[in-house]
Every structure is written in structure tokens, then in C-alpha cells.
Amino acid sequence: MSNEEHQKHYRILSVDGGGLYGLVSAIWLRQLCEENEDFLKPNSAGSVNLFAGTSAGAVSVLLLAQEENPRKAVLSGVLERFWTEPIGAFSNSLNPVAALLSYFGIGGWVGEQDFMYQLNQYFKPNLKLGDLKHNVLICAFNWSGDKKIQFDPWPYNPAAPYPHPASSAASGPAIAAQHSSPYRARFDPYTWAASQLSGPRPGPVPSGGTGHWRPKIFTNVEGDTDREFRVVDVAYAAATPAGIRAVRGGIVDGAVYSPNPTMEAIAAAVHLGRHGHSSWKCTPASQSPAVEENQASSQVPRKGAPNKDVLTKPGGAFLDLIRVLSVGNGSIVPRYWLSNFNFSLAQISRLPTNPLTGFFYPPTVEGMFDGVIEAVDYISKQMLGDQYLRLDPEIMPTPVIVATILARHDFWRNAFIQQIYAMTDHSRSHEDFKRATKFLSNGWKREPPPHDHPPK
């Protein structure tokens, strides 16, 4: 494909959430890079215009977007190292008191300090979304409903990195004092309780609440005010489910409504195209479809301009130009073991999904996520046809939530990591993976397109 030809397409890489199974999608991205020499290479037929992610996928795409050449980052193993760190997203070791209380159901299961420490190792503390090298779309959820998002509700210096536990003792009392506030014991319950009775809580307080929770989609496209948010704050919030880790700024994991961010990414791409955003390079002259549409309505169509039918259709116009690769987390989707039953809410939330096949967890653990993922996949296929491909062979038998919770303990985390590498190594021969490599080599287009039918 020529450079001129590939600029007529708007390519989206969408990465699902998946907790520890963020490692699965990271390995698949590396394997695709090994199979296709252009995948993720800037200014090539495999370059990406928009990186979209939810939860673990949000962290992965942010890691890629900060690199001038995302392909090199993937091949060097940056993503895989992140998801296999002993201290990070799944540990709770930097605050022994919080770790102990979590066993009694008090506080988050995994540590806020651990995750912030890890994020500050992989991102510059003051790096903002607007500083990233590539456009991103991050799905999160505004739990508190505040219009003005403030990630630092308690007074501390957000730019100060948390010291590595192995070296903090040798850092000296001055450095230890300097780093005493950022991510350790900043919450004083007595001060907080008093503030609730007598006045405002300590620290900056978000204002202008909407009165209800709602989705929050972060982007860094030109002109978006989200560009001023720090990357570490967005990454932390987007990968923090309420009840699993301490919530900061009222923003939590977007998997509660969008474990698969493909539809949000498609909608954002159409919106940017209709408004003539500079990220749309649909002609050799790098002019956006919206600009060309204005010219087409008043002038003779110029040589090299997009098809007039594409320009005049109001919303679907830009769908003809969009290409999407959606990457899942590899978890096996179960089925319920009974067809006819009469259970109460208490029973359905406790009884196993399918004891006959080894799915002993209740359907409420994964059901709400799997249904949304499948629905988004179906809608995306119908909207884009052969311009869309989903890579998600079902290879991981343990549910995402179960594996992520157990990953707090070294034994289970290492066991799951070994299993992930073993299963993803075999996935190269999976038909879904073969289709993905053909999709990329064919200019991000399926050939021939499969017959996609509504879910039965």
C-alpha cells in the first residue's frame, strides 16, 4: 500500500480491559509486530491514528502513545514488563497497615501506593495527556458526577515520585521527608470526620457536580481541555475499579459500562472527521473530509478528493474511511448451566455459573462485562464490515476478576503469568490470530469478509 493510499484511512487500535490479562493483549501486540513489519510503525501502512483503551487497555495504550515509535516500545517488551512487575497494579506491599486491613474488608484489596509507584516509573510525573506523541481515547467512569475533576483532593505534591522501597532507607532523612507526603498516609480520618460536620473537607474540592454518575472519556486531541491532565492520574483512575483500589478524584475504571472501547473510539473518529480535525489526513494534501466537503459544495471537485458520496452522507460518511483492530484479553466466555430456573437475587449472586465445566464463580462476576463486549463486537461489525477485526481467541480459563484478585499474591501472580505465556504462544496458530495478520497485511481490511449474524 502506498503512503498516499494509507493516508486515506483513519486507523484505530482498541484494547480491552482485563486486569492481569492486560499481559495477554500486550503479548498479542508484540506477536503482531513480529508478523507484520509495518504494524504500529509511524508514517506507514500500519500506523495508528487513535489509540483507545479501557482499564488495563487504557494503561497499555498510554504507554504506547508516549513513544514516538510505539512499535519499538512493543518489541522491546515495555508493555509486558509493566504487567509482570512484582510491585504495581496488583500488589499491596508498600503500606503494611492498608494491606492488613484489606484482609478484613477495610479499604482496597490492592494498594494505591503500589500502583502510583509503578506508574511513576513508567511515565514522567508531570507528563500531560497533551504531551503524548499520539492521540488517545481513555474510557473511565465519573463516580462522583463532578463537572470539574480534581485528582488531588488531599494536599500533597503530585510531582514527587514515590521512592523505591529497596532504596528509600539509603536516601537519607531529607529525601525521605521530601517523599513522605505523596502516596503514604495522606488521609487523616479525624480531620475528615471533623470537616464533614463543621465545614469543607481538607484540600481542593471539585465544584459544579452534575448530580449523577456518568461516563468520562478522556482524549488528548487538539483543543480538548483533558490535555492538561497528568498521564499518571488518568492511568491510575482508568484502571481502578471501585472497591478494588482507593479511588482518587471520583474517577474509576470504565469497564462498568465499556470493557471494550471500540464504539467510543469509532464515535470519536466520526466526530473528529465531521469537524475537520487535523488528525484526519484523507487526501494527499492532508485535508480533512469536513474541509473537502465545504469545498465540494461550492467548487468543482478537486483531483484526489474523497468520493463525493462519502462527503455528503452526514454521519456515516466517515465510516468508509475508518479501520479498526480491536484486541481482547483472551478470557473464555462461559454459559449458564441451567435453562429453566427460579432463583432469587441472593441465589443468583452466589450460585456457580456452570459447575459442570469448572466455572464455580457466580454469573454476576463476569456476565455484565461479557455481554457488553459481545454487543460492541456485533455493532462494530455491522457498522464497518470488513474494515473491522476483533482479535480475541478464548484461551484463558480463569475469569479476569478472579485472576486479578489472586495476582496480589506472588505465587498466584507468577503462576498466571506462566500460564499466559504458554497459552499465548499457542494462540499464534489460532484461526483468529491468522485472520488478524491477514487483516493488517491487507491494509487493515478483512478478505473475504465473514458472514456476521446477529447474536442468537
Residue type, 289: P
Report the pLDDT averaged over residues 132-151: 89
- Mean pLDDT, rounded, for 164-185: 33
| Lowest-confidence segment of 21-30, 98-107, 440-449 by average pLDDT | 440-449
CB distance 398 to 416 below 8 Å: yes
Is residue 339 very low, low, confident or very high in pLDDT (cuts 50, 70, 90)? confident
- The larger pLDDT score, comparing residue 147 to residue 120, is at 120
Write down the mean pLDDT value for the chain.
78
Mean pLDDT of 219-246: 92
Per-residue HEC secondary structure of 58-84 comes to HHHHHHHHCCCCHHHHHHCCHHHHHHC
Residues of 79-90 as b/e, b for ≥16 C-beta within 10 angstroms?
bbebbbbebbbb
pLDDT tier at 454 (50, 70, 90 boundaries)? low
Cα(120)–Cα(123) distance, integer angstroms: 5
* DSSP per residue, 121-133: HHS-TT-BGGG-S
Q: What is the pLDDT of residues 351-393, one digit of tens each?
A: 887 888 777 777 776 777 777 888 899 999 999 999 999 999 9
d(CA 63, CA 79): 7
Rounded distance, CA 188 to CA 34, Å?
Answer: 50
Is the model's pLDDT at 251 over the cut of 80? yes
Give percent helix, percent strand, percent coil of the chain, each to the nearest 5.
45, 10, 45
Mean pLDDT of 391-406: 89
Task: Give the list of residues 6+ apart from residue 240 with CB closer than 8 angstroms, or none.
Answer: 115, 246, 247, 248, 251, 252, 253
pTM: 0.79
